[in-house]
Structure 1
């Protein structure tokens, strides 16, 4: 199963492009008609009531999947420590039913890898699919990969110019976030870059979730559609002459 979509859907910058002629109340439904998954971002900033999740479920096709971004109260304020109560409240609010996909934990760039802290955090998670996106170089550590593998938690393979991009596959599914290769949240991915990511997905040979976060100039939905077209027939490709090959994702 390969699910490709965007990180969020409420972007005024898409109004005159992907959403041209579509009223704002139809934006989610319109995007969901074209992609197979979307990351819910609002859950990161503010607690969402179950009624919001039920509303989003009703606006999307039967086979649709949502990833949900875990609250910054847990990742950025509490920094993964003493999170039992907010974790229970967050998980209890999710009302996505069979449309719920992985929960994403995006870590702050100042948070260093601490094996004991991460061990306790992962042990506190209820059953489900989870992905961790670190943004500090200290996570490039075999102990981190081994810990995620033990809990079947996916390391997020991300692409961005401003924080470490660590390629590792640590679970029975893969999770990818493409933030813009050259300019954060802006750069569109060209054909060669999309071919490269399609090749990686093919090589991993497992359930894969991919989210384009290059939203500011409206590239995300178009890149998602282009990668979707490639993903069904992707195969490993040689690097172009004069261009060094990218690192392959390491199993962990």
Structure 2
């Protein structure tokens, strides 16, 4: 049965960052302005440089100018805001840090291009009262801005806590960032197909490299952890999952992060084809997943 076009739910597909995807930039001209080229392929991108340092406003202003009017950004929260830095940051207080971050992204907000701020917490961020309070603090400091939440410790979704975690996210107004990742110990989470925000849900594809997920000991961990190429069959698994999510959320953003070996762009393009989404970045019109 065809649905009224006014009720169609959007699916946007993009990547983490725009710099490290060589397949998208085969010519010198394409490499000259990577974000402009990127935005001809995809309508959304995750900004990860904001995790390592609060970016100057001029950077965001340039990125806005380099992208089409309906392009949007998922901006990753600064590492001090999620506890990754373990208190080692250049700010006098948490309040000052949050305010500095919010000021930095004002150009994106004013341009109407902010999809969400992504708070991805570290693997040691377990389900404890102290950490629940930290989530409440972060949500309060971000005010009315759309914020997405991604856990990296499975205690949040262990059977005794799963429903409580999801209910908490709904009450507090968190957008669920659902993970596709290997199940390789406590420092990862299962795929929980539950939208906590009617407006938006994120799905982030980290790959399924179970043997490399817990690689530690040197600075090559990132090159190992996200080294994975999704098969067609694995991507097709998500078609049914997305159908379920579409019943409870108006928009879904799929972000591919499996780029240790340069696989993210190819898998994202493949997913678009499987979903019947053509030239998403160029056309900027969206096809519903099941209007095929």
Question: What is the TM-score when the length of structure 2 is the normalising length?
Answer: 0.73
Indicate yes or no: 2:150 matched with 1:133. yes
Q: Cα deviations across residues 180-218 of structure 1 (Å, max 9, x unaligned)? A: 123631211111111122322222112111100011211
* Equivalent-residue separation in structure 2 for 1:222 and 1:22 (angstroms): 20
Indicate yes or no: 2:166 matched with 1:164. no
Q: Deviation of residue 135 (structure 1)? A: 0.5
1:178 is matched with 205
Aligned residues: 230
1:241 is matched with none
Q: 8 Å contact 1:35–1:224 — kept in the other structure?
A: no
Residue 136 of structure 2 is aligned with which of 110, 119, 122?
A: 119
1:110 is matched with 124
Q: Cα deviations across residues 132-182 of structure 1 (Å, max 9, x unaligned)? A: 111011111222211110122122111122422241321112111101123
Indicate yes or no: 2:27 matched with 1:6. no
Q: Unpaired runs of 5+ in structure 1?
A: 236-252
State the secondary structure of the residue aligned to 2:24: coil
* Equivalent-residue separation in structure 2 for 1:53 and 1:209 (angstroms): 20
State the secondary structure of the residue aligned to 1:98: coil
1:69 is matched with 76
* Structure 1 stretch displaced more, 171-180 or 153-162: 153-162
Q: Cα deviations across residues 215-242 of structure 1 (Å, max 9, x unaligned)? A: 121111111122222334645xxxxxxx
Q: Deviation of residue 65 (structure 1)? A: 0.7
Question: What is the TM-score when the length of structure 1 is the normalising length?
Answer: 0.84
Q: 8 Å contact 2:12–2:44 — kept in the other structure?
A: yes
1:150 is matched with 171
Q: 8 Å contact 2:11–2:288 — kept in the other structure?
A: no
Equivalences for 1:1-252 in 2 at 5 Å? Answer: 1-11=10-20, 14-15=21-22, 17-23=23-29, 24-75=31-82, 76-77=84-85, 83-94=94-105, 95-96=107-108, 97-114=111-128, 115-140=132-157, 141=161, 142-161=163-182, 162=184, 163-167=188-192, 168-172=194-198, 173-182=200-209, 184-205=225-246, 206-231=250-275, 232=287, 234=289
Highest CA radius of gyration, 1 or 2? Answer: 2
Q: 8 Å contact 2:257–2:264 — kept in the other structure?
A: yes
